[in-house]
Amino acid sequence: MINGQNNEENISENDRIAIIRHLKRLELYFTNIETLNIISKEKLLEYELQYWTIKELHFSPYKIYLNELTRDKFLLKFLQTQKYIKIDSESKLTDFVSYFIKSLREELENGGNKNATN
């Protein structure tokens, strides 16, 4: 796991179940651990960053947005974040996740405002 992110022992069972539910809905959850053994290190890092982001959103004031988040929006913002922040050191991991969360939040807030005015 990514440094500073392996806090699974501090997550309650209810929170763990909720996080897994969101990961499954976004088609990001692996039930077959063998799959993780055959994907590239780069792809594994992407999944870890995506998991970390969902976990951070779950424990943030923006948790409500997880219910509105679609796989397409999530992956589009992830790809946009990858273009904006290059992970060339371990210190960039937190920057990446922070920017990714900010981008998702802004997208969902703007999407919610558009729906409210129509």
User: pLDDT of 2-33, one tens digit each?
Assistant: 444 444 558 899 999 999 999 999 999 988 88
Give dist(CA 86, CA 20) in Å, integer: 27
- Look at residue 116 in the predicted model and tell me its pLDDT: 41
User: Rounded to an integer, what distance in angstroms lies between the CA atom of residue 60 and that of residue 32?
Assistant: 29
Burial zone of 56 (CB within 10 Å; 0-12 exposed, 13-18 middle, 19+ buried) = middle
Reported as a single tens digit per residue, the pLDDT across 27-86 is: 999 888 888 889 999 999 999 999 999 999 999 998 999 999 999 999 999 999 999 998
pLDDT at position 22 is 96
Q: What is the pLDDT of residue 94?
A: 92
